[in-house]
A and B are shown apart, each in its own frame.
Chain A
Amino acid sequence: MKITEQQVRYVADLANLKLTEAEVRKFQADLDEILGHVDKLNEIDTSSVEPMAQVLYEAGETATLREDREVPPLDNTAAVANAPAAGGGYFKVPLVIER
């Protein structure tokens, strides 16, 4: 077995994801099967290969730099307009620190 239900609960915790017991069981089985397939990667020798984090192609060193100039920022009202709870121009969240 590649992954246990206990590990599934631990990973869900890392991901801030509340799972039901049925989901824990389902994801244990699904992830186990998928990780079993991913094990294929161990068949291939990559000892002399550099990891590829981005698609690379020929371009000048500064090709992705833009001119540094001021632009108006997103207006505060627009920034909080989609928040489920906002007030005074801020996002509101449940209590973080006990008084």
Chain B
Amino acid sequence: MDIPSLTVDQVKEGLAARRFSATELAAEALRFAEAENPKTNAYLHFAPERALAAAARVDEKLARGEDPGALAGVPVAVKDVIVTKGLRTTCASKLLANYVPPYDATAIVRLEDAGGIIIGKTNCDEFAMGSSNENSAFGPVHNPLAPDRVPGGSSGGSAAAVAQGTAVVALGSDTGGSVRQPASFCGVVGVTPTYGRVSRYGLTAFASSLDHIGPFARSVKECATLLRVIAGRDPCDSTSAGAPVPDYTAALGGNVKGMKLALPREYLKDLAGESGGLIARGVEVLKKLGCEVQDISLPATDYAIATYYVIATAEASSNLARYDGVRYTSRSGHSETLSDMYRNTRGEGFGAECKRRIMLGTYVLSAGYYDAYYLKAQKVRALIAQDFRRAFAEVDAIIAPVSPFPAFKIGEKVDDPLEMYLSDIYTITGSLAGIPCMSVPCGKTTDGLPVGMQILTRHFDETGMFRLADAFERAGGVAG
């Protein structure tokens, strides 16, 4: 059993042929993940009891001859902003260092019903706020391909776990690029589905009009398998969509001849260095596969960062008000009054980036500024969504970069928050429009750093997105 290169299909075949039991695999995967973790700090804590209990249930089903589920026995890592009943969920924050949730997120229930084995909870930026995983209260994650570099953020631990092979697939969350950007930095596949495609019940709220749960895997097919398991209407999340969930894997393996693709001029004009060269080579591969490629303009792109950082921080300032030292968080020890207790708890508990965003969000919502900032941003958001609607009247998918640069050095950008925010430009637009988008590996720089290519499609057209990504992957990407 070669744990780091294990696939979902290999697990399925191995269990069916009785080469190993789910319990043996879970124990081996846990041993491997725990031994590897000091290299990356990808996991905050492991879940041996839960994993072995889940594996035992899979083994019982197999013994009874029942279908053990689409992810039976598969080791899964889960970002520590998704709540797990009885298993610590810290959001990488000091405030929730000892928080043990009383319920499971819907995505977790579905994952385990399908036989998935949660082996541990992964590191991330505190409350999913960041683009480098350096904002974790429990230390940064090291990129498994280049340990002095960041894995991206905020779902850096989940991306690193999959890249390192300590999990076969992982769950992350994406608000402005937090699945796609770390997937691109770590050389794995990462998917942000349509807004509402996956229930957020049990996902710790950051910016509710933008939050998504999304899968990571080492192949397009495995991402498609995991998304199918977790997607679909959930009565516990009124924003979850009722649209039927197709079998995404059924559409894979077909050809993409004649598929109409667009390259947004605004995304490519400033894309310098090797990242630009690799994306251009990726587009050539797609042309060879028979795709028709045209240029388009998405004119509101220039306003996306400003729009996003007003809306996301405004919603965050409201969502993070619940961490008040009363119900779930730790409490500052020395406060005479209730008001002091709130202030001290929050002042001592939140890290710098969370405070910065709470401050910005509170400011843009405060009396006298609401119309100028928040309402204005919501209107510009409508224009950004309209750009995509117009584009998709003509084309089937948009091809874009994921990040302006590959993984950077730990510490390199921490002193300039605006520069860090600006680096989210290519992922933020899709988030604001709520359309499905994903990062698929698109070669490596001469330093061996992975670069991801982004594919964006219409609302609920994950099928088309996966079909294109799968064709690209099978063609060998830019290495082919």
**Do A and B associate with each other?**
yes
Q: Are A19 and B355 closer than 8 Å at their CB atoms?
A: yes
Q: A16-B324, A23-B355, A93-B338 are in contact. Are A44 and B347 (CB under 8 A)?
A: no
Which listed residue (B195, B326, B330) contacts A91, Cβ 8 A?
Answer: B326
Asked if B319 is an interface residue, CB under 8 A from chain A, the answer is no
Q: Are B195 and A85 closer than 8 Å at their CB atoms?
A: no
- Whole-angstrom distance between the Cβ of A20 and the nearest chain B Cβ: 8
- Whole-angstrom distance between the Cβ of B456 and the nearest chain A Cβ: 14
Q: Are B99 and A82 closer than 8 Å at their CB atoms?
A: yes
- Whole-angstrom distance between the Cβ of A1 and the nearest chain B Cβ: 14
Q: Which residues of A contact B350 (CB under 8 A)?
A: 17
**A24-54 to B contact mask, C-beta < 8 Å, 1/0:** 0011001101110111111110100111111
What 6 additional pairs, Cβ within 8 angstroms, besides A17-B347, A17-B350, A49-B383?
A: A18-B344, A35-B363, A38-B306, A49-B382, A51-B375, A53-B378
Q: Write the chain A residue with the least CB distance to B326.
A: A91
Q: Which residues of A contact B358 (CB under 8 A)?
A: 15, 17
Q: Are B342 and A16 closer than 8 Å at their CB atoms?
A: yes
Q: Are A37 and B359 closer than 8 Å at their CB atoms?
A: no
- Whole-angstrom distance between the Cβ of A51 and the nearest chain B Cβ: 4
State which size class the interface on A falls in: 35 or more
Q: Are B335 and A94 closer than 8 Å at their CB atoms?
A: yes
Minimum-distance CB pairs A-B, first 3:
A55-B434, A18-B347, A51-B378
Q: Are A41 and B359 closer than 8 Å at their CB atoms?
A: no
- Please list 19 pairs of residues, one from A and one from B, whose beta carbons are closer than 8 Å in the complex, sorted by A's number: A8-B359, A11-B362, A15-B358, A17-B350, A27-B355, A30-B356, A30-B417, A31-B360, A34-B360, A41-B373, A44-B383, A63-B241, A66-B235, A79-B102, A82-B98, A82-B328, A84-B326, A91-B326, A96-B337
Q: Are B379 and A50 closer than 8 Å at their CB atoms?
A: yes
Q: A51-B379, A83-B326 are in contact. Are A27 and B309 (CB under 8 A)?
A: no
Q: A46-B383, A57-B460 are in contact. Are A34 and B328 (CB under 8 A)?
A: no
Q: Which residues of B contact A54 (CB under 8 A)?
A: 209, 239
Asked if B142 is an interface residue, CB under 8 A from chain A, the answer is no
Residues of chain B whose beta carbon lies under 8 Å from any beta carbon of chain A: 98-100, 102-103, 194-196, 209, 235, 238-239, 241-243, 300, 302-303, 305-307, 309-310, 317, 321, 324-331, 335-344, 346-348, 350, 352, 355-356, 358-360, 362-364, 366, 373, 375-383, 385, 417-418, 421-422, 433-434, 459-460
Q: Write the chain A residue with the least CB distance to B103.
A: A74
Q: Are A57 and B305 closer than 8 Å at their CB atoms?
A: no
Q: Which residues of A contact B302 (CB under 8 A)?
A: 40
Q: Which residues of B contact A33 (CB under 8 A)?
A: 417-418
* Alpha-carbon distance between A67 and B351 when the two chains are bound, in angstroms: 41
Q: Write the chain B residue with the least CB distance to A64.
A: B238
Which listed residue (A31, A50, A52, A53) contacts B359, Cβ 8 A?
Answer: A31
Q: Are B366 and A11 closer than 8 Å at their CB atoms?
A: yes
Q: Which residues of B contact A64 (CB under 8 A)?
A: 238-239, 242
* Alpha-carbon distance between A19 and B242 when the two chains are bound, in angstroms: 44
Q: Which residues of B contact A74 (CB under 8 A)?
A: 102-103
Q: Write the chain B residue with the least CB distance to A77.
A: B102
Which listed residue (A38, A63, A79) contacts B373, Cβ 8 A?
Answer: A38
Q: Write the chain A residue with the least CB distance to B421.
A: A34
Q: Are A82 and B100 closer than 8 Å at their CB atoms?
A: yes
Q: Are A57 and B241 closer than 8 Å at their CB atoms?
A: yes
Q: A50-B382, A52-B379, A94-B338 are in contact. Are A38 and B310 (CB under 8 A)?
A: yes
Q: Write the chain A residue with the least CB distance to B324.
A: A16
Q: Which residues of B contact A94 (CB under 8 A)?
A: 335-338, 340-341
* Alpha-carbon distance between A12 and B342 when the two chains are bound, in angstroms: 12
- Whole-angstrom distance between the Cβ of B328 and the nearest chain A Cβ: 4
Q: Which residues of A contact B303 (CB under 8 A)?
A: 40-41, 43-44
Which listed residue (B317, B335, B379) contacts A49, Cβ 8 A?
Answer: B379
Q: Write the chain A residue with the least CB distance to B422.
A: A37
Q: Which residues of B contact A42 (CB under 8 A)?
A: 376
Q: Are B305 and A37 closer than 8 Å at their CB atoms?
A: yes
Q: Which residues of A contact B342 (CB under 8 A)?
A: 16
Q: Write the chain A residue with the least CB distance to B330.
A: A84
Q: Which residues of A contact B376 (CB under 8 A)?
A: 41-42, 46
Q: Are A14 and B337 closer than 8 Å at their CB atoms?
A: no
* Alpha-carbon distance between A26 and B363 when the two chains are bound, in angstroms: 16
* Alpha-carbon distance between A74 and B83 when the two chains are bound, in angstroms: 15
* Alpha-carbon distance between A90 and B227 when the two chains are bound, in angstroms: 40
- Whole-angstrom distance between the Cβ of B143 and the nearest chain A Cβ: 26
Q: Write the chain A residue with the least CB distance to B355.
A: A17
Q: Are B242 and A63 closer than 8 Å at their CB atoms?
A: yes
- Whole-angstrom distance between the Cβ of A60 and the nearest chain B Cβ: 8
Q: Which residues of A contact B337 (CB under 8 A)?
A: 94-96
* Alpha-carbon distance between A75 and B357 when the two chains are bound, in angstroms: 34
Which listed residue (B196, B307, B329, B459) contacts A84, Cβ 8 A?
Answer: B329
**Residue among A19, A67, A75 with max Cβ neighbours from chain B (10 Å):** A19
